Structure 1
Amino acid sequence: MPTVKPSTVLGRQLGEELRKFREAAGVSMAQAAETLDCTKGKISRIENGHVPVRTPDLIALMQAYGVEEPVSRERLAALARRANRRRREGWWHRYASVLSDTYVDQIEMEAICESVRTYQVQLIPGLLQTEEYGRAVTVASRAWRTPEEIDRFVQVRIARQKRLTDEAPIEYWAVLAEGVLRQQMGGPHVMSAQLEHLVAMVQKPNVTIQVLPFSRGAHSGMFGPYLLLSFPQMASLDLVLTEMPTGNIWMEGETEVACYRTLFDDARMAALPPTESLALIQRIAKEYRS
């Protein structure tokens, strides 16, 4: 049976709360390590969300930190359960055979985040793709070879899109380089339908799409695609996912995340306003139909 890897963000949230309780109680890392009969390094990794917290360890730490209030104890216990089990319990688990670890992490984070901001230079982002466009991208990637693998991966991509329409949808803001709209995937018919889908999506109050036209020239965010995920009430948990041909990379450091926040702000300021972006999308969609 494969090891269940804890969710980074949930683990960090649990670790952050444990750190606050430890400091409020005046307990040093060395003293916490004595409680668990472990090294200070393990306490540090727990507080940074890099290792799971077993139930006996959590109980021992709460006792050492004087966490006696039932609501606080249950919140920490529930957070630990979610952090350690989310991958096993998520709908995406049944598609594990066609998903990389990084992609599973992305789906997990989308399931609990509050907002996603993304800049794309080549492709329509996955949460906005039609099935036909997503299939064309999947086939072109050559990462999935059999028809069954391709079908399953496309199913995952479509299932992810429910985060834009569920009871508590994420706030989604995409800045697309103009080349994204003009790079043909699947031919003119597929592209026309895809751009019409973008037109429909921007009618939703939680979806914003801007286009950065060729005429804008050089700008600070033009060097690669990325996603910036934000989480409720805790900006310190924000994450960046950079997309690369050899594999996507998560960035968690506050300095790195702050840099990408600035890059995204630069991109959206350089891009056309939403209404002008919509007009451009509609114009290019018409070109594909002609």
Structure 2
Amino acid sequence: MQKSGTGTRGKQVSTVLGRRLGGELQRLRLSAEMTQQQAAEYLSATATKVVKMESGLVPVRDPDIRALCHLYGMTDRAVLGGLLDIAKTDRERRKVKGWWDDGLAPGAASYIAMEDAALRNRQWQLSLIPGLFQTAEYTRAMGVADSLWENLDLVEAVVSARARRQQRLHGDSPLLMHAVIWEAALRQMVGGSAVMRRQLNHLCELAELPNVHIQVLPFRAGGHSGVSGPFNILSFGEDEAVDVVHMDTPRSEIWIEDAERSAAFVGMFNSLSRSGLSPHDSMQLMQSIGKGMSE
């Protein structure tokens, strides 16, 4: 596991992707039993350039990726395509200043930039409604109750940021969102019964979107593998491409960027999904909980 810092320099907000790409290039080089100096000579470059590429400190050009894959004997087109996709996204994120760069904490800005670049988000939540699904009044109620959100202006900045993030669920190329939510998050009276009824109604409306898949893990499911905390799995390509896991804690954030450990979280998410209710039954439970909340 790697704790936040994101390894950013200046306004480079996508260095998680840069490090992931660099790690893959390093793995291929080591498998080919070659040194950084040999890779540099093949590229007609310095060893320092290769070091920076493998560390995720610089954007990597497509011709360099293709050349290194050829040198390392990597002929799998799917793998090459995944590396090129990551490199393209990383370059775009490095050069474009997003709305998230203004007024948000560095950790939040880095996550939102990654989410904005992702094609798919798989999320497990224990006690809160996922941020992309929250109504403004639910977010505001959480902010007022959280001592880490220092003042009302900051609360409103977070409310505004979440509203803009939620635009990713709509449009021509919407984010594919699959959330598994523990039943406790649906019953927690954030902001009171009226706020929660509207929040649950909003969840049911979102569940009708073709790109949104919501499941509830009910209390009756018993023990489960997600007790250690919530997490997101961000995907930047097709199924064979790299997944990055993000976990947010009250005082820090954690990124998991290597294939073996991210695969373990994918397995955990799949297990939680199998234990959860179907989307139809989940909607029925959300509607039932909402109707049962007193005025």
**What TM-score do the two structures reach when normalised by structure 1?**
0.81
Q: What is the aligned residue count?
A: 272
Please state if 1:91 is matched with 2:99.
yes
Structure 1 gaps, min length 5: none
* Structure 2 counterparts to residues 128-167 of structure 1, below 5 A: 128-167=133-172
Q: What secondary structure, in the 3-state scheme, does the structure 2 residue paired with 1:11 have?
A: helix
CA distances 1:34-88 after superposition (whole Å, capped 9, x unpaired): 644344xx6245135x21248xxx6995898799xxxx9x9999666424224xx
Q: Looking at secondary structure, tell me which structure has more helix per residue.
A: 1
Q: Which letter maps to 1:3? A: G
Q: Hey, what's the Cα distance between the residues in 2 that align with 1:288 and 1:59?
A: 55
Q: How much does 1:141 deviate?
A: 1.9
Q: Compared with structure 1, are the counterparts of its residues 247 and 275 closer, same or farther at alpha carbon in structure 2 (3 Å cutoff)? A: same
The answer to whether the aligner puts 1:119 opposite 2:124 as a matched pair is yes
Partners of 2:120 and 2:175 within 8 A in 1: yes
- The question of whether the paired residues in 1 share the 8 Å contact of 2:20 and 2:258 is answered with no
Please give the secondary structure, in 2, of the residue aligned with 1:204: coil
Please give the alpha-carbon distance, in whole angstroms, between the structure 1 residues aligned to 2:69 and 2:223: 55
> 1:51 is aligned with what amino acid?
L
Deviation track 1:177-229 (CA, whole Å, cap 9, x = no partner) reads 00000111111110010000001000100111111111111012232100011
1:91, distance to aligned residue in structure 2 (A): 1.5
2:100 maps to a residue whose letter is W
The equivalent of 1:207 in structure 2 is 212
Q: TM-score under structure 2 normalisation?
A: 0.80
Is 1:180 aligned with 2:174? no
Deviation at 1:289, TM superposition (A): 4.6
Measured in 1, the distance between the counterparts of 2:40 and 2:144 equals: 51
Choose the corresponding residue for 1:8, options 10, 15, 19.
15
Match of 1:218 in 2: 223
Match of residue 46, structure 2, among 13, 16, 37 = 37
Local SS of the residue matching 1:218: coil
User: Cα distance, 1:13 vs. partner?
Assistant: 7.1
- For residue 30 of structure 1, what is the amino acid of its counterpart? Q
Greater RCO between the two (CA within 8 Å, min separation 6)?
Answer: 2
1:52 corresponds in structure 2 to: 58
CA offsets 1:243-272 (integer angstroms, 9 cap, x no match): 222222111111111111110111011111
Query: Within 2, Cα distance between the matches of 1:62 and 1:174?
Result: 34
RMSD: 3.4
Assess, with a 3 A threshold, how the Cα gap between structure 1 residues 52 and 151 changes in structure 2: closer, same or farther: same
User: Residues of 2 paired with 1:61 and 1:51: CA distance?
Assistant: 15
Aligned to 1:233, which of 238, 241, 256? 238
Amino acid of the structure 2 residue aligned with 1:164: L
Q: Distance in 2 between matches of 1:104 and 1:221?
A: 26
Contact map agreement 1:231 1:238 (CA 8 A) in 2: yes
Mark the runs of 5 or more structure 2 residues left unpaired by the alignment. Answer: 1-8, 71-80
Work out the CA distance in 1 between the residues paired with 2:85 and 2:254.
30
> Relative to 1, partners in 2 of residues 1:13 and 1:134: Cα closer, same or farther, differing over 3 Å?
same
User: 1:3: Cα distance to partner?
Assistant: 1.4
Distance verdict in 2 for CA 1:120–1:31, change over 3 Å: same
The amino acid of 1:85's aligned partner reads K
- The answer (yes or no) to whether the contact 2:37–2:47 under 8 Å persists in 1 is no
Q: Residues 11, 289 of structure 1: CA spacing in aligned structure 2 closer, same or farther, 3 A cutoff?
A: same
Preserved CA contact (<8 Å) 1:181 1:284: yes
Alignment of 1:184-199 (within 5 A): 184-199=189-204
Q: Which amino acid aligns with 2:102?
A: R
